[in-house]
Amino acid sequence: MPRKPSVKKRQSLHVSEPKVAMSYRLSPAKIARAQRVLGTATATATIEEALDLVVFRRELIEGVDDAFGVEISDAFPASGRRKRS
Protein backbone atom coordinates (compact mmCIF):
# COMPACT_ATOMS: atom_id res chain seq x y z
CA MET A 1 0.00 0.00 0.00
CA PRO A 2 1.48 3.41 -0.96
CA ARG A 3 2.30 5.86 1.80
CA LYS A 4 0.39 9.07 2.09
CA PRO A 5 2.41 12.15 1.26
CA SER A 6 3.59 13.93 4.37
CA VAL A 7 1.63 17.05 5.16
CA LYS A 8 3.41 19.93 6.84
CA LYS A 9 1.65 21.05 9.97
CA ARG A 10 0.51 24.65 9.78
CA GLN A 11 1.72 26.60 12.75
CA SER A 12 -1.06 28.07 14.82
CA LEU A 13 -1.29 31.83 14.68
CA HIS A 14 -3.04 31.88 18.03
CA VAL A 15 -1.47 31.86 21.45
CA SER A 16 -1.54 28.36 22.87
CA GLU A 17 -4.46 27.79 25.14
CA PRO A 18 -5.16 24.78 27.30
CA LYS A 19 -7.40 22.31 25.47
CA VAL A 20 -9.93 19.88 26.85
CA ALA A 21 -11.69 17.03 25.09
CA MET A 22 -15.36 17.77 24.50
CA SER A 23 -18.06 15.98 22.61
CA TYR A 24 -20.79 17.61 20.51
CA ARG A 25 -23.36 16.32 18.08
CA LEU A 26 -22.86 18.46 14.99
CA SER A 27 -23.96 18.15 11.38
CA PRO A 28 -21.06 16.77 9.31
CA ALA A 29 -22.37 18.67 6.27
CA LYS A 30 -22.41 21.95 8.19
CA ILE A 31 -18.87 21.37 9.49
CA ALA A 32 -17.67 20.51 5.96
CA ARG A 33 -19.29 23.65 4.53
CA ALA A 34 -17.78 25.86 7.23
CA GLN A 35 -14.42 24.16 6.69
CA ARG A 36 -14.50 25.07 2.99
CA VAL A 37 -15.53 28.65 3.74
CA LEU A 38 -12.90 29.15 6.44
CA GLY A 39 -10.17 27.15 4.70
CA THR A 40 -9.39 25.15 7.83
CA ALA A 41 -7.82 21.71 7.83
CA THR A 42 -9.77 19.97 10.58
CA ALA A 43 -13.19 20.04 12.22
CA THR A 44 -11.60 21.26 15.46
CA ALA A 45 -9.84 24.13 13.69
CA THR A 46 -13.12 24.98 11.96
CA ILE A 47 -15.04 25.15 15.22
CA GLU A 48 -12.32 27.21 16.91
CA GLU A 49 -12.17 29.67 13.99
CA ALA A 50 -15.96 30.00 13.93
CA LEU A 51 -16.03 30.70 17.67
CA ASP A 52 -13.26 33.28 17.27
CA LEU A 53 -15.35 34.99 14.58
CA VAL A 54 -18.41 35.09 16.83
CA VAL A 55 -16.42 36.68 19.66
CA PHE A 56 -14.77 39.16 17.25
CA ARG A 57 -18.19 40.13 15.85
CA ARG A 58 -19.44 40.92 19.36
CA GLU A 59 -16.31 42.98 20.15
CA LEU A 60 -16.65 44.85 16.85
CA ILE A 61 -20.31 45.70 17.44
CA GLU A 62 -19.62 46.87 20.99
CA GLY A 63 -16.62 48.92 19.84
CA VAL A 64 -18.61 50.72 17.13
CA ASP A 65 -21.44 51.31 19.60
CA ASP A 66 -19.09 52.65 22.28
CA ALA A 67 -17.00 54.79 19.93
CA PHE A 68 -19.70 56.31 17.78
CA GLY A 69 -22.96 55.66 19.58
CA VAL A 70 -24.19 53.77 16.53
CA GLU A 71 -26.44 50.96 17.63
CA ILE A 72 -26.26 47.91 15.40
CA SER A 73 -29.28 45.64 15.59
CA ASP A 74 -28.39 42.24 16.94
CA ALA A 75 -29.01 39.28 14.66
CA PHE A 76 -29.35 37.13 17.77
CA PRO A 77 -31.44 39.23 20.20
CA ALA A 78 -31.44 36.54 22.90
CA SER A 79 -27.62 36.77 23.14
CA GLY A 80 -27.74 39.15 26.10
CA ARG A 81 -26.41 42.27 24.34
CA ARG A 82 -26.39 45.12 26.78
CA LYS A 83 -28.64 48.04 25.96
CA ARG A 84 -27.30 51.60 25.78
CA SER A 85 -28.63 53.80 28.52
pLDDT above 60: residue 76:
yes
Task: Give φ, ψ of 8 to 5 degrees.
Answer: -70, 135
Domain boundaries, the chain: 28-76
Collapsed DSSP state (helix, strand, coil) of residue 18: coil
* Mean pLDDT on 1-13: 55
**How many other C-beta atoms are found inside a 10 Å radius of the C-beta of residue 40?**
18
Which comes out higher in pLDDT, residue 70 or 51? 51
What pTM, to 2 d.p., does this model score?
0.62
Q: pLDDT tens digits, residue range 23-67?
A: 999 999 999 999 999 999 999 999 999 999 999 999 998 888 888
